[in-house]
A and B are shown apart, each in its own frame.
Chain A
Amino acid sequence: MIAEQAPVLIVVIALMSAVATPLVGWLKKDLCYPWVILALLGSTLCSVSVLNTVMHEGIIHYRLGNWPPPWGIEYVIDHLNAMMLVLITGTSLLVAVYSRRSLEAELPDRTVYFYTLFLLQVTGFLGIVITGDVFNLYVFLEIASLAGYALIATGEEGAPLAAFRYLILGTVGACFYLLGVGYLYMVTGSLNLADLAEILPRLYSSKVILVAFAFFMVGIALKMALFPLHLWLPDAYTRAPSAAGALIAPLMTKVAVYIMLRVMFTLFRPYFSIELLPATKIMLYTGIVAIFAGAVMALAQRNFKRMLCYIVIAEVGYMVGGVGVANTVAIRGAILHVMNDVVMTLGLFAVAGIIAYKMKNNELSAFDNIFKKMPYTMAAFLVVALSVIGVPPTCGFFSKWYLIQGSVMAGNWMFVVALLFSSLVNIILFFRIIETGYYDFGAAGAGHGHAHEEGPAVSEAPLSMLIPTFIVAAAIILIGLYNQSILVNIINFAVPKL
């Protein structure tokens, strides 16, 4: 019986435990941490069970309060959102485990509120992904965003202003989405995704629909920091507390990409988004520009976290461009890249958090001689870096491979060039760090490398931070090795039929 209710439990557990967190913290502050982990463990188990059901029995329709679909709110879970649910709950569980020590260092007296917002943010992400109702999606989008603004504002120097700017732009994005919903409602009288998808094809020539589509795409592009609209992202993610950054950076942009996929291929038919409109063409070129701009700006950064932010912007370009190529192979690559990018960004920001925790700063100079000081962290970092560059057998290689293959098939050489250029820049970015990490620039002039035989003492990160980072590194390799079965069992069902 619980298995039947699993779809709603995923969201309800996170929401209810968020509400209860201040109470738990009021009883005893230290209980918050196990409480959050317990709650997220519950959500994770439910989402894994949902993924399992979807894989074996097909799409799940869950009616809230048993109201039939066009009137009531419905949760629809197919392969795409089942995958996203597992990614979101898994990521948040790992970050929750990871967050403890980092919070003790950065926000010692605000852990209770941090965890409340943390769970609310996860609730928002889960709700966005699971719901089959466009207005409900807006509400969850705002829950996720509001929790995100508050989390970011608690960060270091300058964080409140970064959060404020994010809030202004994020609100514009969400309001545009809401306007899109309004225009659709105007001509169809429905808010249910499946119902709208039924009604809309008759109205594809209507100007109202075009306006709605444009509002949707621009609003979502703001939320996912697509290149010309990315200005809020670097400041916000750099200055956020490390644990918040590790949660928001992997998930927010990817959830926005998910909304984009839904709007383009479920709400509207693929032939509307691809053939009737030049939307995919615009997306392809924006994606290319985003990749170039993100890569070049990443090169210019002296701060590790800031550099990662620009990598995130370039990666958004991969996914948007991949959808813009608009053939099955490239879209398959884009969806696989959503999965990979969640894992890789999580790994990068987890390492950044460890560096911030141990070295108290995130400048690239903090990496001096770091391989000797923190061998385990850097081993994990190496795996993540190789995956971002795209070296087999890590997962980053395979999604890039499908993206390139798809764009070669479509004859879009610009996108191929952009992808290769970005890989080259990533090699420079990461090898610069690895080089700094191997040599002790602080003691230059000491002659041979052998002069440092005893080296600095090993001072590793605490286990509660290391273990999640290792799990991420292992996941990167496992996703890479098992990418075929992931493709066959999950992603091929999620690719729209063109």
Chain B
Amino acid sequence: MDLIIAKYNYWIYITLMMIGFYAMIAKNNLIKKIIGMNIFQTAIILFFISIAYKKGGATLPILTEADAHAHGEHVIQVAQYLNPLPHVLMLTAIVVSIATLGVALAIAIMIYRKYHTLEEDEILRAIK
């Protein structure tokens, strides 16, 4: 139980990822598959953001006026700030996932225009 509570964000990430994965593989409707894909990608974003977290009250890496005075010319204490890099990586990953979503929806529209349905089994029957 301790294991679950202490790392609850990782458990949420795994659960979300599995939900998305299930939807992508098992659902028959193409839009549901796309939604599953998006949940899957969002789970990975949650994972990366969790990596950036530090225990002990670390905050956003923004230097205020007071910080600058307090530290003077000393080196900034890394432990006080969250790691900004995973957040930056995830900005890129969000862009990628939006692009993927766009392409997927565009293809879904193409399919709908041709076959007037988004159910995979009906489309397969129409192709054959």
Contacts and interface: CB of A to CB of B under 8 A. Distances in A.
A157 B127 contact: yes
A160 B107 contact: yes
Interface stretch (B1-9, B56-64, B69-77, B93-101): B93-101
Interface size class of B (residues with CB under 8 A): 20 to 34
B51 A186 contact: yes
Contacts of B21: 172
Interface in B76-95: 85-86, 89, 92-93
Interface in B3-46: 21, 24, 30, 33, 37, 40-41, 44
A439 interface: no
Contacts of B104: 164, 167-168
B68 interface: no
Contacts of A167: 100, 103-104, 107
Interface in A432-472: none
Interface string A285-323: 000000000000000000000000000000000000000
A182 B110 contact: no
A74 interface: no
A264 B48 CA distance: 23
Contacts of A160: 107, 110-111, 114
Contact of B92 (A139, A146, A161, A164): A139
B41 A171 contact: yes
A182 B48 contact: yes
A430 interface: no
A158 B107 contact: no
Contact of A164 (B40, B85, B96, B107): B107
Given A161-B127, A164-B108, A185 B24 contact: no
Contacts of B96: 138-139, 142
B100 A142 contact: yes
A164 B51 CA distance: 32
Given A149-B103, A164-B107, A172-B21, A182 B41 contact: no
Nearest to A169: B24
A164 B48 contact: no
B123 to A, nearest CB: 6
A366 B30 CA distance: 35
Nearest to A168: B24
B40 A171 contact: yes
A215 B47 CA distance: 14
Contact of A175 (B41, B114, B123): B41
A146 B104 CA distance: 9
A178 B44 contact: yes
Contacts of A168: 24, 33, 37, 104
Contact of A182 (B44, B103, B106): B44
A149 B96 CA distance: 14
A153 interface: yes
A479 interface: no
Contact of A149 (B47, B48, B107, B123): B107
Interface in A136-165: 138-139, 142, 146, 149-150, 153, 157-158, 160-161, 163-164
A381 to B, nearest CB: 29
A168 B40 CA distance: 11
A487 interface: no
Contacts of A157: 127
A182 to B, nearest CB: 5
A179 interface: yes
A175 B110 CA distance: 25
A179 B107 CA distance: 26
A272 interface: no
B40 A153 contact: no
A157 B126 CA distance: 10
Contact of B103 (A135, A146, A161): A146
A163 B100 CA distance: 12
Nearest to A166: B107
Contacts of B107: 149-150, 153, 160, 163-164, 167
B84 to A, nearest CB: 12
Interface in A235-272: none
Contacts of B123: 161
Contacts of B92: 135, 139
- Top 9 nearest A-B pairs (CB, nearest first) are A160-B110, A158-B127, A160-B111, A142-B96, A164-B107, A153-B107, A186-B51, A160-B107, A168-B24
Interface of B: 21, 24, 30, 33, 37, 40-41, 44, 47-48, 51, 85-86, 89, 92-93, 96, 99-100, 103-104, 106-108, 110-111, 114, 120, 123-124, 127
7 contacts: A150-B103, A150-B106, A161-B124, A168-B104, A171-B41, A172-B24, A179-B47
Given A161-B124, A182-B86, A185-B51, 15 more contacts: A139-B92, A139-B96, A142-B100, A146-B103, A150-B106, A150-B107, A168-B24, A168-B104, A172-B40, A175-B40, A175-B41, A175-B44, A179-B47, A182-B44, A182-B51
